[in-house]
Amino acid sequence: MDSATLYVLAAAVLFGIGVHGLIVSAHLMRKLFAINIMGSSIFILLVATATPISGQADPIPQALVLTGIVIAVSATAFGLALMVRMSQETGKATLAVEDEPENDD
Amino acid sequence: MTTEALALIVFLPLLAAAGAVVLPTAWLGLSIRVGLMPLPLLLLIPTLEVLENGAYRIALAGHSAPLGIAWQLDPLSLLMLWLNVGMTLLISLHANCSFRPGQPHAHRFWPLWLLLFAGMNALLLSADLFNIYVTLELVTLTAIGLIALEGKPPALRAAMRYLLLALLASLLYLLGVGLIYGQTGVLDLYLLAERLAPGWLSVTAIALMIVGLLIKAAIFPLHAWLPAAHGNAPGPVSAILSAMVVKVSIYLIWRLWFWGVPEWDLDRAALLLGVLGGMAIVYGSLAALVQQRLKLIIAYSTVAQLGYLLLLFPLASTLAFQAASYHLLSHGMAKAAMFLAAANILRSLGTDRLRHLAGIDQRLPLDVFALALGGVSIMGLPPSGGFLAKWLFLEAAWSARAWSWLILIALGGLLAAAYLFRVLAVVCLHPRRRGNHRHLKRTPDTASLAAMLLAVGAIIAGFTSAPILDLVEAGLPPGLPR
Amino acid sequence: MTIADSIALILLLAGCAFYLAGTIGLLRFPDVYCRLHALAKADNTGLCLICVGLAILSADWQVAAILALVWLVGLLAATVSAHLIARHAHSAGRVPARSGPSRR
Amino acid sequence: MIGLALDLLIIVSLIGLAIQSINAASLFRGILHFVVLGLAMSLAWARLDAPDLAMAEAAIGAGVTGALMMIAYRRLIEIQPDQESSLRPPPSRLAVPIALAAGALVGVIGLAAIQAEPMPALAGTAVLENLGSTGLGNPITGVLLLFRGFDTLLEITVLLAALLSAQAVTRQVDLDQSLTTQDPDTPLVGALLAIVVPLTVLVSVHLLKAGGQETGGAFQAGAVLAACGVLLVLTGRLGASRQYSPLVNTGLLVGLLSFILIGLAPLLWGQPLLALPGLWAIYWIESAMMISIALTLVLLFAGAGSLKRRDHG
């Protein structure tokens, strides 16, 4: 088994952990962890499955992942700000279903 | 000339957004004007080019496709660009009332608004799958920021839910892009057709991208985030979200489907998407029928109307393509008009609960009229753009002998009529109509005017269809049956 | 394996042992002061040993200089942060544990 | 063999840290595990022959994200000290099967992608072939600035959009609250800053310059510089401010503006859009982006629209 395969399997496990965390976590910060973990797993997958070009790593997937990392951080930063504001307004940092009558004004 | 014009169409709003951030507040109005006003004029140049010579392609930085990123403007993207520019301008007219420079949220609103606008233009021009991912993120983040802008708890919750789902969707899309790069070695959408063979891996890649886009487009059963987000956002934001932002995701699915992999045999997948569309129509309409708030009714109506855009996949003909494009256009205008009118009503009344709306037609006649005109187009009553779109859909279903779709389209129109007449009945025919609403706040005239202009546009679209339908026909994907 | 290599190896292993000790201390010690003590001292010694080991392995003055810089910066950061944490704990009224089970 | 063992070690810690960051007993521990997860990710990138990603992950993924999460956590516990008690997540019987299915899907896709007939990576090959003529040594910098520069331009726009959106939802009243503790300053902090600040600036400039030829670039450099800014905020040298500051706002946008203007300029003399005129343009844009990225990240951390200097002893 080579290391690319190992990392692909790791990506699979991480993705599963992320999905699980996204479903079961109530706290929004943990949901953000989960999304970030899923993102990382996909980044690993993209780099690990890239075909080397005559012995050199393919720069395209790495450049894409670099862009992806920055975008993930941007979205996370905004998500955190949103979470803090929600917590200020409602006292809770969750998306609990019960306190959300949809017809609320 | 065309290259310069397209460059400005993307970069002028970006520069204006930068100006709105960096310049003192006194200059905000100028930034907004610079970023928005010249756009229709600029768009004329590429329009002439496309009408004359067909699709126009630019290799950015001079590096052609496998190496660099390309912009491609064809009749369909041209139509979408016009729609985006036109509606953003009209809605900005309305936004200039609620977010006039100097008012509390104005300096937060306009930079995001301009960035959203620039992001949409870049998205519509881009021919590169990864570049599209970046533009999608730009559009999503600005859209969510705009939803949460006023900081009301329901809007914050809706924004958060939207953000989480949108991030999930982006990841699925990105995974698909990565797999496609592994399969083909290219990222250009228009190079896929010849390079992507239909193995299970490439099918999975396309499927992942489509699922991601379906989440962003809020297609049933992935719609859960939309009503709360669109129903609680500030008025102009709801309008642009429903009119354009969700639709570009479906536009991208069309691109992938008919331009990216036109050779694939996708009948069953097309049927599945069509069924999803049908379920969206029925579910969205029924849900709209039981809502108690005007903006939520309109938001659920968006869920329903988005379903029509998926009927293109099973019908897959020239007529269906014209129908879907025309539906996109007329629904955009009608829905924007309705959201703006609802925003005006909400603003002057303080609530948009249905039971408080009785008799509002006497106090806010212009807004109620815009609401009604938009409703006429959504229901598909003649003469309106919506009528024409539904008629074309029916014709497409008829000539394909697709009776079940035919029935569905007719049923959708009836349901739309049901939920919209419910609103109009409360507003105009309610017995408690006199003596209410002493304390109305005045709506600014331009705010009503913007709603009215969009509503009239949706009606006029019923008369001036020929050039637009010709444009769509000129931009049909290769190999589509009549 | 040359003598230099074996010395480097021994240094690296010793560095790892110090890190292990520091980490065990972090996990097992009863209060914040003891934990800081374990981290700040053991880990910095470990870092020093590993830097020296790597410098010997690289046999290059430039690399050795950079490694020395790494150690110095690490030392500085650890000193100040340990000081600040201890100070904060002290002003927050944390009393050093005399004995008994760990408190949180 | 040792390599494989190292990979296994990294992977096991990745998985363990991921589980812990989501399931740790307290949210604070979750954050710590998440930060360490970022560091483990950066080791993984190094093993996957992606040094640029390793550095970006360590600086941006672990460093900046960690700082942002810590500060968000602090703001949360100021509102509600007990962040976990009210949260008994409803037990979901579907969670485990869904997670297993999703993980399995990703695994199967990944394995299939590895085993698939290697296709010629046209774009990547083209990058490596064209790199020689540009004067750059690092293909990733080539992709990010020259060949796919528009992606990068939009990427810093996304970062800006995130900042603007975050500012839009940040409540304005509590800006003046200090992020620093009320403790009087200790002499050690000043001494640390006197050494660390110049050193960090030096490192980020080095990273920026190195990016042309080897590992490094504007994003890594910007993140390192941002760390310096975060330190200044935490030690009370820089404070959040509501006052409009032309200097801060210009710094915030200098990267995007430089990129757009230098990208539009070639149109004037008939060159393609975004065709950067020479290496100086790359270094200029990267330097400007570094400043903008650093400022954006510091402002995100401070949760403020602007910054001001503060006297501190």
| B60-72: pLDDT as tens digits | 988 887 888 999 9
Same domain, D208 and D143: yes
Contact check, Cβ <8 Å, A78/B163:
yes
The mean pLDDT of B8-17, rounded to a whole number, is 95
Cα A91 to chain centroid distance, Å, stands at 25
Residue D275 near residue D147 (C-beta atoms within 8 A):
no
Residue D34 has pLDDT above 50, yes or no: yes
Bond from prior residue into D120 cis (ω within 30 degrees of 0): no
Mean pLDDT of chain B: 91
For residues B314 and B267, give the distance between their C-alpha atoms in angstroms, rounded to a whole number. Answer: 7
Identify the pLDDT of residue B439: 66
What is the arithmetic mean of pLDDT over B275-300?
94
Cα–chain-centroid distance for residue C97? 22
- Determine the distance from the C-alpha atom of residue B40 to the mean position of all C-alpha atoms in its chain, rounded to a whole number: 18
DSSP annotation of B462: T
Tell me what pLDDT residue D194 has. Answer: 87
Percent with pLDDT over 90 in chain D: 42
Question: Vertex B389, ends B385 and B390: CA angle to 5°?
Answer: 120
**What is the predicted pLDDT for the residue at D221?**
93
In this structure, how many other beta carbons lie within 10 angstroms of the beta carbon of residue B292? Answer: 13
pLDDT of residue A17: 95
pLDDT class of B244 with cuts at 50, 70, 90: very high
Q: pLDDT value at position B437?
A: 59
Question: How many Cβ atoms from other residues are within 10 Å of residue A1's Cβ?
Answer: 9
pLDDT tens string C56-87 = 998 889 999 999 999 998 888 888 888 888 88
pLDDT at position B130 is: 96
Q: Which two tokens stand for residue D164?
A: 């603007």
pLDDT over threshold 80, residue B425:
yes
What integer best gives the mean pLDDT of chain D?
86
3-state secondary structure chain A: CCHHHHHHHHHHHHHHHHHHHHHHCCEHHHHHHHHHHHHHHHHHHHHHCCCCECCECCHHHHHHHHHHHHHHHHHHHHHHHHHHHHHHHHCCCECCCCCCCCCCC
pLDDT at res. B7: 94
B141 CB neighbours in chain A (<8 A) are 74-75, 78
> Domain of D2?
1-82
What is the tally of structural domains in chain D?
A: 2
pLDDT score for C67: 92
pLDDT of residue D312: 56
pLDDT at D86 over 60: no
Q: What is the CATH number of the domain that holds A25?
A: 1.10.287.3510
Residue ranges of B 48-67 with Cβ closer than 8 A to chain D? 58-63, 66-67
In this predicted structure, the answer to whether residue D92 has a pLDDT above a threshold of 80 is no
Q: Which chains touch B (3 or more CB pairs under 8 A)?
A: A, D
Backbone phi and psi for residue B279, each to the nearest 5 degrees, phi listed first? -65, -40
Q: Is the pLDDT of residue B327 over 90?
A: yes
Q: Is the Cα dihedral D110, D114, D120, D123 positive or negative?
A: positive
Helix, strand, coil share (%) of chain C residues, nearest 5: 80, 0, 20
Q: Count how many domains chain A has.
A: 1
Nearest CA distance, D188 vs chain C (angstrom) = 6
Q: Alpha helix (H) ranges present in chain D?
A: 2-23, 27-47, 51-56, 65-79, 95-115, 122-131, 139-141, 149-169, 187-210, 218-234, 246-264, 279-302
In a domain, D120, yes or no: no
Over residues D222-239, the mean pLDDT reads 88
Report the greatest alpha carbon distance in chain B: 70
Torsions phi, psi of D307, nearest 5? -130, 155
Distances from the Cα of B410 to the Cα of B381, B413, B416, D79, angstroms: 12, 5, 10, 53
Domain that holds residue A57: 3-90
The predicted structure's pLDDT at residue A101? 47
Range scoring the smallest mean pLDDT among B261-275, C11-25, D72-86, D200-214? D72-86
pLDDT of res. D114: 85
Find the closest chain D residue to A31 by CA distance: D22
C80 closest CB neighbour out of D181, D189, D199: D189
Question: Is the minimum CB–CB distance between D48 and chain B shorter than 8 Å?
Answer: no
DSSP conformational letter for C100 = S
Could you say which DSSP state residue D184 is in? P
Distance CA B416, CA B301 (A): 8
The pLDDT, as a whole number, for residue B390 is: 93
Q: Are B324 and B309 in contact (CB under 8 A)?
A: yes
Contact by Cβ (8 Å): D144, D222: no
Contact B388, B331 (CB under 8 A): no
Q: Return the pLDDT at B429.
A: 80
- Chains touching D, CB cut-off 8 Å, 3+ pairs: A, B, C
- Report helix angle B365-379 to B445-460, nearest 10: 20
Whether B348 has a pLDDT exceeding 80, the answer reads yes
pLDDT of residue C104: 45
Question: Which candidate from A9, A24, A69 shows the least CB-CB separation from D89?
Answer: A24
Distance between CA atoms of residues B216 and A32, nearest Å: 18
Cβ-proximal residues to B74 (8 Å cutoff; 6+ apart), any chain: B50, B54, B55, B56, B475
List C-alpha distances in Å: B390 to B250, B405, B458, B466: 18, 12, 13, 15
Convert the pLDDT of each residue in B192-218 to its tens digit: 988 888 888 999 999 999 999 999 999
pLDDT tens-digit readout, B309-325: 999 999 989 999 999 99
Cβ-Cβ contacts under 8 Å, A59 against chain D: 124, 127-128, 139-140, 142-143
8 Å CB contact of D119 and B185: yes
d(CA B205, CA D21): 30
| pLDDT-based confidence at residue D240 (cuts at 50, 70, 90) | confident
Q: Do B130 and A64 touch (CB under 8 A)?
A: yes
Which pLDDT value is given to residue A95?
79
* Facing A73 at nearest CB: one of D60, D140, D170: D60
Among the candidates D37, D66, D82, a domain finishes at D82
In a domain, D177, yes or no: yes
pLDDT of residue A104: 45
User: What was the pLDDT predicted at B110?
Assistant: 94
Per-residue pLDDT of chain A (105 residues; tens, 9 = 90+): 688 899 999 999 999 999 999 998 889 999 999 999 999 999 999 999 888 887 888 899 999 999 999 999 999 999 999 999 999 888 788 876 554 444 444
Does A102 or B238 have the greater pLDDT score?
Answer: B238
The CB density around residue D89, as the number of other CB atoms within 10 Å, is 14
D217 with D140: CB under 8 angstroms? yes
Is A touching C (3+ C-beta pairs, cut-off 8 A)? no
Domain match, D168 and D302 both:
yes
Q: Taking residues D83-87, what's their average pLDDT?
A: 62
Say how far apart CA D296 and CA D249 lie, in whole Å: 10
D220 contact partners, CB below 8 Å, separation of at least 6: D52, D55, D56, D59, D60, D207, D211
> Which of D119, D148, D267 is facing B69, going by the closest CB pair?
D148
Token readout for B138 is 């730009």
Token look-up 């019960």 returns A98
Residue D80 has pLDDT above 50, yes or no: yes
State whether D297 and D226 are in the same domain.
Answer: yes
Domain boundaries, chain B: 1-254, 265-482
What pLDDT is recorded for position D179? 58
Structure tokens that stand for C87 in this block: 């100070």
- Which pair of structure tokens corresponds to residue B181? 């790069």
Residue A34 counted as domain residue: yes
What whole-number distance in Å separates Cα of residue D246 and Cα of residue B21? Answer: 10
Which residues of chain D lie closer than 8 angstroms to A57, CB-CB?
A: 49-50
Of B145, B156, B163, which has the smallest distance from its Cβ to A89's Cβ? Answer: B156
Q: What is the mean pLDDT of residues B119-146?
A: 96
D128 found inside a domain:
no
Question: Domain for residue D101, yes or no?
Answer: no
Which whole number is the average pLDDT over B410-429?
Answer: 90
Contact B14, B114 (CB under 8 A): yes
Mean pLDDT over B97-112 rounds to 88
Express each pLDDT in C38-48 by its tens digit.
888 888 899 99
pLDDT of B92 reads 95
Distance of CA B104 to CAs B91, B110, B236, D40, D240, Å? 19, 12, 16, 44, 20
Confidence at residue A105, expressed as pLDDT on a 0 to 100 scale:
42
Interface test mutation site (partner B, options A53, A64, A66, A70, max chain B beta carbons within 10 A): A64
Question: Does position B223 have pLDDT exceeding 70, yes or no?
Answer: yes
Domain extents for chain C? 3-91
Predicted confidence at residue D313, as pLDDT, reads: 44
Whether B71 and B58 have beta carbons less than 8 Å apart is answered as yes
